[in-house]
Structure 1
Amino acid sequence: MGFLRRRRAAGRTGPGPDGLVVAGAGCLAGMVAAQVASGVSPDPVRQTGPVVGLLAAGAACFVASRRGPARAGGAVGAAMAVGYAAEWVGVRTGVPFGRYSYTPVLQPQVGGVPMAVAGAWAGMGLASHAVAATLVPEGRTGARVAVGAAALTAWDLFLDPQMMRQDLWRWADGGVYRGVPAVDFAGWLGVSALLMAVMEPIVEWERDAPGWLVALYGVMATMETLAFTAVFDPPDRLVAAAGGTAMGVFAVPAAALAFRRRTATGPRPARSPRRLAWRR
């Protein structure tokens, strides 16, 4: 009761940082379960919305555990806006990804763009930014943007082939990588860089990017690699190798650094009253 009174006096009645971590971990576990269900389901598209929703919600919880709900909401909203705007322009002009269109399969859609796609940009965008913040010291903004953009683009080596299997979108002219044109990856790199630049002043990671966000990135890399190796029918080991290697280049060293910092410093020290304000 005393804890609740202190939280109300501070103007916060929701879950505290530890509770948000637990909620995020629950979302991460739920996302894994939904992905497994998707892999064995005769109608995997039905699991796409839950997977993306849990991905974005888990990422938001992990950000909120360090920066508070307001900043987490701002980060998710900004990332969704960037991703949605890029897709809205893309389906109309072919810039920056090349000529493509969404089928009616994935709903709901606004302006021809599934809202789940915007959620995916947000969830994996936050995870990729945390990976970059773990690998690149604070103050090297350009390097963080570049590393985060590359980490997020690496995921597209899995995403595009998987979504094309499910007939969620189609390319007008095909391309060299499982029907995906090379310009798509250039477009992803550019949009991802913009998203990283937007994230940087909102979340302001120093050396404290949540290890759970790094874990989310690693879990996605592992699940996608296993899916393309042995779960999908037919399997596609080329995509498994390409995507697994590309994401692994970022996931493995980021996870190692996050673990090393955690074990070197021990549990995070008690926050000062200023830190308890979640850096408004």
Structure 2
Amino acid sequence: MKQTRGEQAAGAALGPARALGALSLLAMMGCQVASGLSSRPERFTGLIVVLLAACAVAFAAYAWGPRRAVAAFGAAVLTGYAAELIGVLTGFPFGGYRYSGVLWPQVGGVPVVVALAWGGMGLAAYAVAAAVAPAGGWARVCAGAGALTAWDLFLDPQMVRLGLWTWAEDGSYRGIPLTNFAGWLLVSALVMLAVGRVSGEAGPDRGLLALYTVMAVMETVAFAAVFDPPDPLVAVAGGITMGAFAAPAWRRSWRR
């Protein structure tokens, strides 16, 4: 089917957004490699998250339009921040934990980059869910919540290892309590609801799928072979779980 002149003009206008997304993705990958090779990897955390957020917003702007992309990102950031603020104050819904002073600036004891991470990966997980559950509704919310929580199988062990936050009580998964993952499922579902509401249940985007997949691959390789000491358990758990969402998302994306 031929595009109209209006559609062609819109595509040309949004071309720089896709380019920015690709450049941000490549820069984030470079920073992740540098972090893995550095004696102080925590110094790269803030920059990696900023690039993650920029990549997600750029790809979403190309696929959904700038206004819906920014609104969806803002909704995910605010939802994640509110959950983190409640979490550090009350211990609900993740369990008792606190942030160290490594990540800065902080608002109410919550690092700003943590909220940005909820936004960036929230958009990526939503795109995965949109591919897996194209009809939308609760199936999409559940798929997105699972996809986003799968990422935390990598995130929490890595951040605890770097001393970015600590848990009040040791848990069964690398010192992380299982209540944390129950909390992630709940908050991730709220993030999916918020993103879906402001984006009008936007469809999947291969740029955002690439972002989700790159995070899965980079984290798997890092835990399997780069970190000292390596952690095969986390590599397998996170890699298989994120892959279980990424693989069907790509398969359905290419069938469209």
TM-score bracket relative to the smaller structure? over 0.9
Match of 1:234 among 217, 229, 233: 229
Partner of 1:90: 87
1:173 aligns with 2:169: yes
Aligned equivalents of 1:213, 1:79: Cα separation in 2: 15
Q: 1:71 offset after TM fit, Å?
A: 1.5
* Deviation of 1:16 (Å): 1.9
Distance 2:67 2:248 in 1: 30
The 5-angstrom pairing of residues 79-228 of structure 1 reads 79-138=76-135, 140-205=136-201, 208-228=203-223
2:240 to 228, 245, 254: 245
**CA offsets, 1:133-177, max 9 Å, x none?**
001122x41000000000000000000000001000000011000
2:69 corresponds to 1:72: yes
- Aligned-partner Cα distance in 1 for 2:96–2:227: 27
SS in 2 for 1:170: strand
Q: Aligned partner of 1:100: which letter? A: Y
The CA distance in 1 between the partners of 2:45 and 2:171, in whole Å, is: 24
Q: Deviations over 1:232-272 (max 9, x none)?
A: 000000000000011000011112222332xxxxxxxxxxx
**Aligned letter for 2:39?**
P
Residue pair 2:75, 2:198 contacting (<8 A) in 1 also: no
1:46 to 38, 43, 47: 43
What is the TM-score with the length of structure 1 in the denominator? 0.86
Cα deviation, residue 69, structure 1: 1.8
Structure 2 CA distance for aligned equivalents of residues 40 and 49 of structure 1: 16
The one-letter code sitting in structure 2 at the alignment partner of 1:234 is: P
Q: Deviations over 1:43-88 (max 9, x none)?
A: 1111111110011111101111122222111111111100011000
The code of the aligned residue for 1:43 comes to R
Q: Which runs of 4+ in 1 moved over 6 A?
A: none
What amino acid does structure 2 have at the position aligned with 1:166?
Answer: L
Q: Secondary structure at the match of 2:94?
A: coil
The CA RMSD over aligned residues, in Å, is 1.5
Q: C-alpha deviations, 1:84-127, integer Å up to 9, x for none?
A: 11000100100000000000011111111011100110011100
TM-score (norm: length of structure 2): 0.93
Equivalent residue for 2:22? 25
How far, CA to CA, are the matches of 2:179 and 2:110 in structure 1?
19
Kindly, what percent of the aligned residue pairs are identical? Answer: 56
SS in 2 for 1:16: helix
Does the 8 A contact of 1:131 with 1:254 survive in 2?
yes
| CA–CA distance in structure 2, aligned partners of residues 165 and 32 of structure 1 | 20
Distance 1:179 1:71 in 2: 38
The question of 1:56 aligning with 2:53 is answered yes
1:36 to 2:33 alignment: yes
Alignment of 1:256-271 (within 5 A): 256-261=251-256
* Higher alpha-carbon Rg: 1
Structure 1 counterpart SS, 2:166: strand
Structure 2: distance between partners of 1:168 and 1:87: 14
- Deviation by residue 1:165-198 (Cα, 9 ceiling, x = unmatched): 1000000011000000000000000000000001
**Whole-Å separation in 1 of the counterparts to 2:14 and 2:200:** 17
For the residues of structure 1 that align with 2:134 and 2:250, how far apart are their CA atoms?
A: 15
> What secondary structure is seen at the aligned counterpart in 1 of 2:212?
helix
